[in-house]
Structure 1
């Protein structure tokens, strides 16, 4: 089915990469539901992990000057540990139930930050570890955990480049870990491998366009955009399962 609609798929994938770059938490939150229209859920998990390896490598190259090593360790290590746990259990748990939980969670948190602008998550190691664990678990189970990581990282009030570079490095470790588990789960199929070079081009193109857009918006606009995107992702996650 995908080969028949490949041009449409590529356009949608580029849009997901642009939005993922501008939002700062990766393209999988858009790429997963898009790809789910064309492939079965397990294949979606496998190809998303491969796509994100390229996507995050590209972001690191484009935004490498903004890396925050302390947050990479505090948020990234638990994310890498828990993504393996989530990836392993992904074959045992109904993804629809998890999608509902994730959707309502994202709606609640994003509304909290948008309505109560003074509300803050403490920007400490404990918050980073909790956020990293939850985002890793979500990434392993559902193929996407960037929105939870975005909520956590927004508490640290990073500038745009630091936010994106730090998120990309964490995501790269997460993607490598879950790719290994997905491979042994049988989610990565030989007949889907023709998509890999296409998605490498998609990741470079989408990241480049996203960076151009980011250069034209302020830090406050960036923060609001991230929160509205997360609100939209949560809403779509709930509605899509109704």
Structure 2
């Protein structure tokens, strides 16, 4: 217990609550925060294990809202490309990829916030493209939920459908990349002491996020999600220069 960083665990809980409200998962906050306390590869390993518990919780809490068609169109390419991203993470410098990701998140979230009436066509092609980039980013950087969030926000989904479908896709991604990261040696013995606490945080944070979400009107939900993505992009870019 004395070796645990409790500030990190509190921040993980906040990340889970905000990730549940935003609908794109906690990794978009958890990964940047985790990088202040652990090495990059340890963060990847912890993120995959942490998300397995948090996504199971969201699947249970929001299971009635699942969009099966979107699950297939976004989820399948996400799983394929998360394997590719996980393998490439051993060979590509993460700093350059984080810069690209940060710029992408800031630019696209600002675009959708300013152009509130703009919507990407809800077709298979756009779902496949969004899923592919989301999976690749999740494998390389540990977080792809914001890209998936941008894709799904553009589809103007009802909030329960958004969160349920995103959680199912995220679970598929995390289950797959856990094996890839294990093979890469990212899951370290000395970090496993955090897993029981992160499991509890995943369940508690998902529950609290769902309760808070009940008070957020649907017409504000899309802007709220995009605002979170904008903040994530800014944090990502700031962190690189610290």
Q: TM-score, normalised by structure 1?
A: 0.97
* Aligned-residue offset at 1:77: 0.1
Q: Deviations over 1:86-138 (max 9, x none)?
A: 00000111101000100111111111111111222111000000000000000
Alignment correspondent of 2:101? 102
The aligned length equals 241
Question: Is 2:93 aligned against 1:85?
Answer: no
Alignment correspondent of 1:184? 183
* 2:156 counterpart SS class: coil
Alignment correspondent of 1:210? 209
Q: Deviations over 1:171-194 (max 9, x none)?
A: 001001111100000001122112
Q: Deviations over 1:62-102 (max 9, x none)?
A: 11110000000000000000000000000111101000100
Give distance in 2, aligned partners of 1:117 and 1:7: 39
Give distance in 2, aligned partners of 1:66 and 1:207: 15
Q: Is the 8 A contact 2:79 2:173 kept in 1?
A: yes
Give distance in 2, aligned partners of 1:236 and 1:192: 24
Alignment correspondent of 2:20? 21
Unaligned runs of 5+ in 2: none
Unaligned runs of 5+ in 1: none
Question: Is 2:198 aligned against 1:199?
Answer: yes
Give distance in 1, aligned partners of 2:8 and 2:230: 24
Give distance in 2, aligned partners of 1:26 and 1:209: 14
Counterparts in 2 of 1:226 and 1:185: CA distance versus 1, 3 Å = same
Alignment correspondent of 1:117? 116
Runs of 4+ in 1 over 3 A off after TM superposition: 2-5
* Aligned-residue offset at 1:3: 5.6
Give distance in 1, aligned partners of 2:75 and 2:56: 15
Alignment correspondent of 2:32? 33
Q: Is the 8 A contact 2:119 2:155 kept in 1?
A: no
Alignment correspondent of 1:72? 71
* Aligned-residue offset at 1:5: 5.4
* Aligned-residue offset at 1:56: 0.5
Give distance in 2, aligned partners of 1:151 and 1:125: 15
Give distance in 2, aligned partners of 1:180 and 1:221: 38
Aligned runs of 1:155-170 on 2, under 5 Å?
A: 155-170=154-169
